[in-house]
Amino acid sequence: MTEAELHKQVADYLSLALPADAFWTTISHGVYFGKDGYKLGFKQKRAGQRPGVPDIYIGYCAGNFWIELKAIKGRLAPAQITCHDEIKNAGGHVAVCRSLDEVIGSLRGWGVLRDAA
């Protein structure tokens, strides 16, 4: 499964499974827009988007939860490692997930999913 396919699968799942009072969004990094993605990424960086920010943000019960999606062989870039450490130091939670099952496991571990979703 490609990373783009995993993003779609996770987005579909989150739309159905998260509690009604949870907020979530995907953070666009311009990766899926071909050569125009480099232009978009440059503009986003100039506007303040930090390098290494995880792909998905979930806010729930005053908690901040971040998910970095990676293909099976994908590796974290140095900027991602730094950003993940900064999020954790600020009290947030970060998981690197390579499948929908890993996303579900992280959400359950954080107490975001409380039912059989």
- Confirm whether 14 is domain-assigned: yes
The confidence score (pLDDT) of residue 87 equals: 97
d(CA 107, CA 103): 6
| Number of domains into which the chain is organized | 1
Predicted structure pTM score: 0.84
- Confirm whether 20 is domain-assigned: yes
Q: For residue 3, which phi and psi values (nearest 5 degrees)?
A: -65, -35
The confidence score (pLDDT) of residue 100 equals: 97
- Confirm whether 71 is domain-assigned: yes
- Confirm whether 117 is domain-assigned: no
Region for 56 from its dihedrals, namely left if φ exceeds 0, alpha if ψ lies in -120 to 50, beta otherwise: beta
Task: For residue 69, give the H/E element and its range.
Answer: strand 63-69
The confidence score (pLDDT) of residue 1 equals: 85
Range of the domain at 19: 3-109
The CATH number assigned to the domain holding 89 equals 3.40.1350.10
- Confirm whether 72 is domain-assigned: yes
The confidence score (pLDDT) of residue 20 equals: 92
Tell me how crowded residue 40 is: count the other CB atoms within 10 A of its CB.
15
Low-confidence ranges of the chain (pLDDT < 70): 29-42, 44, 46-48, 114-117
- Confirm whether 92 is domain-assigned: yes
Are the CB atoms for 65 and 92 separated by under 8 Å? yes
The confidence score (pLDDT) of residue 44 equals: 67
- Confirm whether 116 is domain-assigned: no
Distance (Å) of CA 48 to CA 11, 51, 52, 58, 67: 24, 9, 12, 20, 20
- Confirm whether 114 is domain-assigned: no
The confidence score (pLDDT) of residue 3 equals: 85
